[in-house]
Amino acid sequence: HVMRLFLTQYHNSNTAKSHCNKECSCNSNTKVVDCRGRGLYDIPRRLHPDTQELYLQDNRIRGLGSMAFREIPLVRILDLSNNSITSISPTALLGLRTLQRLSLADNSLRELDKRLLGPIRSLSHLDLSHNSLWGLPGVMGDSLQNLSHLGLAHNRLTRLDRSLLEALTHLDSLTLRGNPWRCDCQLIGLKLWLETYLFKGGVVDEVLCSQPEDMRERDLQKIPYQLFHACMTTSYHYLFANIHHLESERLMRGAGGMTECETKQRQRPVNLRHAIATVIITGVVCGIVCLMMLAAAVYGCAYAAIMAKYQRELKKNEELAAAQGADHATADEKEPLENAIA
């Protein structure tokens, strides 16, 4: 029995070692694989399929290919921070349905594909800080509904799609500092969302304006709405502050997507269908208000006319009654005089 137990442990130990890359250290009990600071250029292979935590920070990984983690479908924590990642395949995380924490901080990412987090619904912690991201696709919010922390600090964000933020119903903390925020009319949506988010108990660091020059280094949350007065009166941007933007990939529809050598990210267009719908609804509301005002005016005129007619008739009746009273008084005066003569 003792020999059998020894052989079983020896077999399990050899099995664990056979599923552990020589560049990493593996713990079969905690199911943790530590590959930090090993100078790796690629994702290590021959990892145990039961791995739940994989640490790959402080390496030289430059990209993530399709199904890069197919050997470890049960991984819950994946740390890829402080590498040189510039590109991630849209299907790189395919199969990781139990992933809870993902860190891509301190890399060189310029954009994320909207399909990257598509099949993942359990993600609670996402750190994208210290990259070169220009924005995040609004539709990515569908995969982030259970997110409690989102790190976007120190990127190149000038604005943020409010549709993405509104999908983060369980968000507890958000980092936005260190971005070149452009505090113009298109950022009113973020200002409105932040007020609601903070009122519900959310935590956010700060949104310091970088442009325009007269708002430089000012905190968006402390800028009074009066400074956005021009947006409200002379620009359609205020009307469209709550309109969802289409992600930049729609510009590439039919063109097969953005090539790897293309460096400039295309600007997001405004969702014209939502914009037209908003204008139509606004027009209908204004029309109803005008009709109500017209009805009130007609009613007021009719009421005034009726009251004027009533006053004229009342005055006429008073004059007639006064005349009749005078006639009766004259008759009463003549009657005693005639009696006296008689």
Name which residue leads in pLDDT, 184 or 51: 51
> What confidence score (pLDDT) does residue 100 get?
96
Average pLDDT (122-130) is: 96
- For residue range 166-210, list pLDDT tens digits in order: 999 999 999 999 999 998 888 888 888 999 999 999 999 999 999
Determine the residue type at 186. Q
Mean pLDDT for the chain overall: 80
> What confidence score (pLDDT) does residue 129 get?
97
In 3-state terms, what secondary structure has residue 143?
A: helix
**Eight-state DSSP code of residue 228:** G
DSSP 234-297: H-TTTTTTTPPBPPGGGGGTTTTS--TT--SPPPPPB-HHHHHHHHHHHHHHHHHHHHHHHHHH
Measure the N-to-C terminal CA separation of the chain; round to a whole number of Å.
159
Name which residue leads in pLDDT, 17 or 54: 54
- For residue range 216-240, list pLDDT tens digits in order: 898 888 888 766 656 655 444 544 5
Distances in Å between the alpha carbon of 221 and those of 38, 160, 280?
A: 43, 15, 31
User: Is pLDDT at 329 greater than 80 in this prediction?
Assistant: no
Radius of gyration of the chain (CA): 38
User: Is pLDDT at 260 greater than 70 in this prediction?
Assistant: no
Domains belonging to the chain, first-starting first, are 19-229 (3.80.10.10)
